[in-house]
Amino acid sequence: MHKIFKEYSQIIIAIIIIFLAKYFVSLSFLNEVIILAIFVMSCNFLLGYGGLLSFGQPLYLGVGAYATACYLFYFGQNPFIGIIIGLIAGVIFALGVGAVIIKLRSDYFALVNAALNMIGFFLAYDLFAKFTNGLDGMWFLTKINPLFGIDVTIEKNFFIFALLFLLIVLLLTKHIMNSMFGTICLAAKTDEKKLKFLGYNIFKTKLLVFVYSSLLASLAGSLYAVHFGFVCPSMMEQEKAGEIVATVILGGVGTLFGPLIGSIIIIGAKDLTSNIIQHWEIIVGALMVIIVITADKGIVGLANRVISKYKINLKNIE
Amino acid sequence: MDKILEIKNVNAAYDEAKVLFDVSMDIERNKTSVIVGKNGAGKTTLFRIIAGFMKPTRGSVVFSNNEKSQNILELSPHKISNLGVRYVAQDKAVFSDLTVKENLELAAYPTKDNNWDLIFSYFPKLKILINKKGAYLSGGERQMLMIGRSLLSKPSILLLDEPMEGLAPGIVEALIEVISKIKNKITLFIVEQNIPVICKLADKIFAIKEGKIVNELNDKDDIKKATFEKYL
Amino acid sequence: MEINLLGPALLFGFSDGCIFFLVSIGLSLCFGVMRIISLDQCAYYLLGAYITYSVTLATGSFWLGILVTMGLVALLGLGVERVIYKNIYSKSITYTMIVSFGLLLFITGVTKFIWGLSPIPVKAPINGSVTLLGVGFPNYRIFIIIITFVIYLLISYFLNKTIVGKAIRAGTEDMEKVESLGIDGYKLFKITFVMACVLSSLGGAFHGPLIMVQPYMGMSIMLYMFITAVLGGLGSLKGTMIAAIIIGETMSIGSIVWAPSTIIVPFLIFIIVLMIKPTGLFGTKLLKR
């Protein structure tokens, strides 16, 4: 009981820290971090709890973004409903696609996602250009109505809006990680055969992980759409998929806060114009290899180790 | 007894599931030892450990040849094979994309033993099939090739894992004949559940049940009189 | 579609396909023998393009550049195999995908650091063109087709006529059985990996003059390399060649039928074939050991 309270309070503390950070860093930076963090959480959950590596996650980001965009452009003006539409689109899409590709071997799965990503990108900029305005993207900033009187497209309002969503996502994900389902997922990653013998439906488990992950990715996309009032095909660039995987590994695969910390570092590193940071691939690539080979959990893992060492030292002093 | 293989206190497990418990046996040189037991009793696991494809949790396997003895457990499988310990697996799988000739070429390569005539004297059919790809061989022909392959490079001991399983009676007879021919020139360690075969060939029998050795029969008469149903 | 463009499109597509073959055969062989997805082959492709370019610039000889590239990449491959792959052969496919991707990222960064971001146009070592089917077909592309053919024959000879090659083919089916015959499987791994790296680097070296050489070309080719290898059937020499030609031709012909299809068609073909025959055109069911 005490432990669970501690874990959930960590989430509250993290939200508070981010909230207070607005006095130190720009709001646009924080908003970017929140959206990216939710997206990275989707990939993190997919890899960490589903054991599924995908090189096509930007596709699911785009599904949510474009669904929301189409709603706000053609139909309604309520941003909250726009986001709900985006989420629904993400779930339906994931159910359809997942049912077919989950069964593939891991390298095929990663690759088919990449292929679907490319096809999705193509649909947005060419085949469906009549609806999506092709490469120029869709502008609908002026069409977004205020929510309960508050205009969420303004940076400081969106900040609160997105922060609330982040809170919900963190709480929900933590709940799933702690649940029986989460335990089954972790077991399925390493010992599929054993679990099958025990009667668990591995396919259903992985499908649920896939759907939840797509849900998060769609949410990130929808938030992006509502924040900027603009979507374009380049959000779905397949080339970005590798970067997302790197962020997942760096932050700590399978951890709750890994994506958040990883996002802060990646966006922060890209904003800095120092010479060393410009060659982020060298550092990130090397870290990826080292982290995976040493079975590390990235930065969160490092932090945990430091904290437990600190705790052990404290105990020894007593 | 001139021991070619001394298996001492070998314990093995797959993750948490223990499959071998303190298995100890001495294999005599140039004799035919047979190990009987139910499916899952641990026979193949033992063979794979000796051949180097699996590490036991405890124990040692000492191989003695040419006045030298060593524990072969630390060695990689190909080194164990080069010492003269040849493992013929249960799956009757030869290289399907390679011809009979190429299969034998690979087997002869490590020691450059090209005495193929000897192999053909045991398995004349292989000479006829020499250019056929492994994929087109029947089960019996594949088994002949597997054993023929392992006989190249003059092995000291053959580990045969259920060599007669799934073969037609005619082929079984032919294999028994070949084994009878070679059994005094080479040590044979065979896993077998086929009773007539056991009785015809075995000089010594080990019975294994649920990972433990439960019986040993040394005497030829004992072997002829014994019933093995309780182990199978 | 203009019919008179079909012929040239076929020729160009064929030479593009040859490049795809060189780039993808490394990945295919690595999986067949070692059951690893070596995404870092893209990095050796990248280095192949850059090293050849630099040596050519310094010495004036493209052929010297090729030789130096092969030598340096072979050494690098030996190093990478020893330091990284040696310890992770038994890990899952996902694991090696992530590690090799990290390696690709790292080498991309190093390349960017050494040579800078700007795209570099590389001059073809062979000039001129012949008029084929009413259109000028560069001699360099004819060279690519010929050299790819030669390389294909060399690999085929190696795999089918030499004892090491036969051992590798046998190892693709069952490395354990190869070991139990007394052959060192790990040595076969090393040979295969170095071969793969050198072939990938040749792909990059020959591709350079056809496109702009820039640090992200390794990342850009990754998908096409992966698709070609899987489409052909991982581990199959013939399969990779045929898949490469198919991809090259469909992209080329597609571009004169409907411009966007260059990007989309390879992925559509890939998904369709995978649904029908998951192991690829000429692949067999290769289980992860």
Q: Give φ, ψ of B128 to 5 degrees.
A: -70, -35
In this prediction, residue A221 has a pLDDT band, given cuts at 50, 70 and 90, of: very high
**Structural domain of A145:** 2-239
- Looking at per-residue confidence, does A310 or C43 come out higher? C43
The mean pLDDT of chain A is 86
The model's pLDDT over A119-159, given as tens digits with 9 standing for 90+, comes to 999 888 888 887 777 788 888 877 777 777 777 778 888 89
The model's pLDDT over C19-64, given as tens digits with 9 standing for 90+, comes to 999 999 999 999 999 999 999 999 999 999 999 999 999 998 999 9
Is C179's CB within 8 Å of B106's CB?
no
Q: Rounded to whole angstroms, how far apart are CA atoms B27 and B42?
A: 17
The count of structural domains within chain B is 1
Q: Rounded to whole angstroms, how far apart are CA atoms A122 and C46?
A: 26
Positions of E strands within chain A: 138-139, 230-231
Is C176's CB within 8 Å of B153's CB?
no
* pLDDT above 60 (res B177): yes
The model's pLDDT over B61-93, given as tens digits with 9 standing for 90+, comes to 999 988 888 888 889 999 999 999 999 998 888
> With contact defined as beta carbons under 8 Å apart, do B191 and B43 qualify?
yes
Pick the closest to residue A16 from A206, A229, A160 (CA basis): A160
First to last CA, chain C: 48
Q: Rounded to whole angstroms, how far apart are CA atoms C22 and C49?
A: 13
Pick the closest to residue A233 from A126, A78, A308 (CA basis): A126
The model's pLDDT over B8-19, given as tens digits with 9 standing for 90+, comes to 999 998 877 888
Q: Does C289 touch chain B (CB under 8 A)?
A: no
Q: Report the b/e string of A195-206 with b at 16+ CB within 10 A.
A: beeeeeebeebb
The model's pLDDT over C186-233, given as tens digits with 9 standing for 90+, comes to 999 999 999 999 999 999 999 999 998 999 999 999 999 999 999 999
Range B208-228 average pLDDT: 77
Q: Looking at CA atoms only, how far is residue C132 from chain A in angstroms? A: 33
Q: Which of C173, C179, C182 is opposite residue B96, by nearest beta carbon?
A: C173
The count of structural domains within chain A is 1
**Alpha-carbon torsion (B19, B22, B28, B32), positive or negative:** negative
Is B76's CB within 8 Å of C174's CB?
no
> With contact defined as beta carbons under 8 Å apart, do C57 and C112 qualify?
no
In a domain, A255, yes or no: no
The model's pLDDT over C116-141, given as tens digits with 9 standing for 90+, comes to 989 999 888 888 888 876 778 889 99
Q: What is the pLDDT of residue C287?
A: 65
Q: Give φ, ψ of C23 to 5 degrees.
A: -75, -30
In a domain, C231, yes or no: yes
Q: In A, which residues are within 8 Å of C260 by CB distance? A: 122, 126
Q: What is the pLDDT of residue A239?
A: 84
* pLDDT above 60 (res C1): no
Q: What is the pLDDT of residue A36?
A: 94
Q: How many CA atoms lie within 13 A of B190 on its CB side?
A: 31
Q: In B, which residues are within 8 Å of C163 by CB distance? A: 105-106, 109
Q: Rounded to whole angstroms, how far apart are CA atoms A226 and A73?
A: 11
Q: Does C37 touch chain A (CB under 8 A)?
A: yes
> With contact defined as beta carbons under 8 Å apart, do C267 and A118 qualify?
yes
> With contact defined as beta carbons under 8 Å apart, do A283 and A247 qualify?
no
The count of structural domains within chain C is 1
**Going by C-beta distance under 8 Å and a sequence separation of 6 or more, which residues neighbour residue B90?**
B44, B161, B162, B165, B191
Pick the closest to residue B209 from B91, B38, B46 (CA basis): B38
- Looking at per-residue confidence, does A17 or C20 come out higher? C20
> With contact defined as beta carbons under 8 Å apart, do C195 and C71 qualify?
no
Q: Give percent above pLDDT 70 in chain B.
A: 95
Q: What is the pLDDT of residue A92?
A: 96
Q: What is the pLDDT of residue C193?
A: 97
Could you tell me where the DSSP H helices lie in chain C?
Answer: 6-34, 41-59, 62-83, 93-115, 139-161, 163-180, 185-207, 217-232, 237-257, 261-276
Number of residues that make up chain A: 318
Pick the closest to residue C186 from B52, B97, B91 (CA basis): B52
Q: In C, which residues are within 8 Å of A115 by CB distance? A: 223, 227, 267, 270-271
| Segment 108-147 of chain C within 8 Å of chain A by CB | 108-110, 112-113
> With contact defined as beta carbons under 8 Å apart, do C94 and A106 qualify?
yes
Q: Give percent above pLDDT 90 in chain B.
A: 35
> With contact defined as beta carbons under 8 Å apart, do A262 and A97 qualify?
no
Q: Which chains touch C (3 or more CB pairs under 8 A)?
A: A, B
Range B178-189 average pLDDT: 89
Is C267's CB within 8 Å of A119's CB?
yes
Pick the closest to residue A232 from A54, A39, A61 (CA basis): A61
Pick the closest to residue B111 from B76, B83, B131 (CA basis): B83
Pick the closest to residue B25 from B41, B47, B40 (CA basis): B47
Q: Which of C166, C176, C182 is opposite residue B105, by nearest beta carbon?
A: C166
In a domain, C135, yes or no: yes
Mutate to test the interface with C, among B75, B78, B151 (most CBs of C within 10 A): B78
Is C170's CB within 8 Å of B106's CB?
yes
The model's pLDDT over A190-210, given as tens digits with 9 standing for 90+, comes to 777 777 777 778 888 999 999
* pLDDT above 80 (res A279): no
> With contact defined as beta carbons under 8 Å apart, do C137 and A281 qualify?
no
* pLDDT above 60 (res C174): yes
CATH assignment of the domain containing B211: 3.40.50.300
Q: What is the pLDDT of residue A189?
A: 81
CB pairs under 8 A between B and C: 70
* Residue B68 neighbours by CB distance under 10 Å: 8
Q: Looking at CA atoms only, how far is residue B110 from chain C in angstroms? A: 6
Per DSSP bridges, beta strands B85-88 and B157-161 are parallel
Q: Does A116 touch chain C (CB under 8 A)?
A: yes
> With contact defined as beta carbons under 8 Å apart, do A40 and A244 qualify?
yes
Range B29-49 average pLDDT: 88
Range B191-203 average pLDDT: 82
Q: Does C27 touch chain A (CB under 8 A)?
A: no
Q: What is the pLDDT of residue C66?
A: 95
Q: What is the pLDDT of residue A90?
A: 95
Q: What is the pLDDT of residue B224?
A: 67
Q: Give the bridge partners for B157, in sequence order.
A: B85, B187
The mean pLDDT of chain B is 87
Q: Which chains touch B (3 or more CB pairs under 8 A)?
A: C
Which CA distances in Å does B229 have to B194, B209, B232, C108? 11, 12, 5, 66
Q: In C, which residues are within 8 Å of A108 by CB distance? A: 230, 274, 278
Q: Which of C93, C113, C274 is opposite residue A282, by nearest beta carbon?
A: C113
**Structural domain of C26:** 3-276
Q: In B, which residues are within 8 Å of C170 by CB distance? A: 95, 97-98, 103, 106
Is A119's CB within 8 Å of C264's CB?
yes
In a domain, C7, yes or no: yes
> With contact defined as beta carbons under 8 Å apart, do C49 and C204 qualify?
yes
* Residue A95 neighbours by CB distance under 10 Å: 14
The model's pLDDT over B114-156, given as tens digits with 9 standing for 90+, comes to 788 888 988 988 899 999 999 899 888 999 999 999 988 889 9
- The residue behind tokens 């924080």 is A30
Q: Give percent above pLDDT 70 in chain C.
A: 97
Q: In B, which residues are within 8 Å of C179 by CB distance? A: 52-53, 76-78, 81
Q: Does C61 touch chain A (CB under 8 A)?
A: no
CATH assignment of the domain containing C122: 1.10.3470
In this prediction, residue C7 has a pLDDT band, given cuts at 50, 70 and 90, of: confident
In a domain, A150, yes or no: yes
Q: Which two tokens stand for residue C107?
A: 């080498």
Phi/psi class of residue A162: alpha, beta or left (left: φ > 0; alpha: ψ in -120 to 50)? Answer: alpha
> With contact defined as beta carbons under 8 Å apart, do B142 and B148 qualify?
no
Q: Strand, helix or coil at A253?
A: coil
Q: In C, which residues are within 8 Å of A192 by CB distance? A: none
**Structural domain of B21:** 3-231
- Looking at per-residue confidence, does C21 or A282 come out higher? C21
pTM: 0.91
Q: Which two tokens stand for residue A167?
A: 């809170």
In a domain, A222, yes or no: yes
Is C95's CB within 8 Å of A246's CB?
no
Q: Rounded to whole angstroms, how far apart are CA atoms B27 and A77?
A: 84
Is B96's CB within 8 Å of C178's CB?
no
Q: In C, which residues are within 8 Å of B153 by CB distance? A: 182
- Looking at per-residue confidence, does C83 or B111 come out higher? C83
* pLDDT above 80 (res C166): yes
Element spanning B28, H or E: strand B17-28
* Residue A149 neighbours by CB distance under 10 Å: 6
